Structure 1
Amino acid sequence: MSDRDLRPLRSIRITGDGRCLFRSVAYGACLRRGHQSPTDSAQKELADELRAKVADEFIKRRGDTEWFLEGDFESYVRKMRKPHAWGGEPELLMCSHVLRMPITVHMYIKGSDSPRIIAEYGQEYGKDSPVRVLYDGYGHYDALQPSLVRTQSRLRGV
């Protein structure tokens, strides 16, 4: 684990409108690409675009994904295209493929003061600076970003 991974993480509250997984991932992808934090309306637009691409990715990878989806494949994909359908592990995996970025899911575990990694997706796209999301254990995802930490070298202007 690098020093960057040891920095404290800051939770970014994401609107809970059925798109929270996609909003959180889109938010993290923007930050990872060096863009500014997206506004709530931009999050919604980016989330809906990502959701559509994820549904397409399921179809593209049907042979690899059909077996781990609940129920009928076509029904599942049709449901996931709807803007208020909740996403989970299968969608996180497809998000990593669509974005070609690693995604790390964190969760607060009883007795811990910081969130712990509970799942990682897209490790084939690298392990540095993953898109980080925080799962609450009840169906909601928020975005996570490393806190800005001033180091001595930054204070000296190096």
Structure 2
Amino acid sequence: MVRAADMNRGITGDGRCLFRSVAYGACLRRGQQSPSDSTQKELADELRAKVADEFIKRRGDTEWFLEGDFESYVRKMRKPHAWGGEPELLMCSHVLRMPITVHMYIKGSDSPRIIAEYGQEYGKENPVRVLYDGYGHYDALQPSPVRTHSRLRGV
């Protein structure tokens, strides 16, 4: 569950925001430091390439839910500024072998709510968490230091 104490980590909106956000969250989940903007870009581009490969690997399971021609779709997704969405989040969970939750602020709510979950077969604890703005942009969500500290104290 996301609490108001969780922090939204603004991600550069350059067409890679979904991949940047997931890569950022994967680093935190692995216990690594928050990646710099340039490292995010590199990790996002690597993840994008692996996601495109994963589409091809899983073509029989994915072709039906992609818009348009499969080869054209995958070719487009290999381009650094093509926006990603639900299909890419699903493939990210498979590539990283990690659960991913998508959160969004719902009108009248002071904290974001989970609107989608991917990769539950890789566990449900400590998912990579991204925040969708409802208009095509993704940011990363990270636990605040206060929450992490209070968790250690058993609160």
Cα offset, 1:149, TM superposition: 2.3
TM (norm. structure 2) is: 0.91
Cα offset, 1:148, TM superposition: 1.9
TM (norm. structure 1) is: 0.90
CA distance in 2, matches of 1:123, 1:71: 27
CA distance in 2, matches of 1:154, 1:102: 21
CA distance in 2, matches of 1:26, 1:126: 18
Cα offset, 1:150, TM superposition: 6.0
Alignment size in residue pairs: 149
CA distance in 1, matches of 2:68, 2:149: 55
CA distance in 2, matches of 1:37, 1:151: 15
CA pair 146-75 structure 1, distance change in 2 beyond 3 A: same
Match of 2:40 among 40, 43, 46: 43
CA pair 129-150 structure 1, distance change in 2 beyond 3 A: closer
CA deviation string 1:109-157 (max 9, x = no partner): 0000000000000000000000000000000000001112268888989
CA RMSD of aligned residues (A): 2.2
Cα offset, 1:56, TM superposition: 0.0
CA deviation string 1:65-110 (max 9, x = no partner): 0000000000000000000000000000000000000000000000
Unpaired segments of 5 or more residues in structure 2?
1-6
Unpaired segments of 5 or more residues in structure 1?
1-9
Match of 1:66 among 63, 68, 86: 63
CA distance in 2, matches of 1:109, 1:155: 30
CA pair 138-155 structure 1, distance change in 2 beyond 3 A: closer
Looking at CA atoms only, which structure, 1 or 2, has the larger radius of gyration? Answer: 1
CA distance in 1, matches of 2:132, 2:48: 18
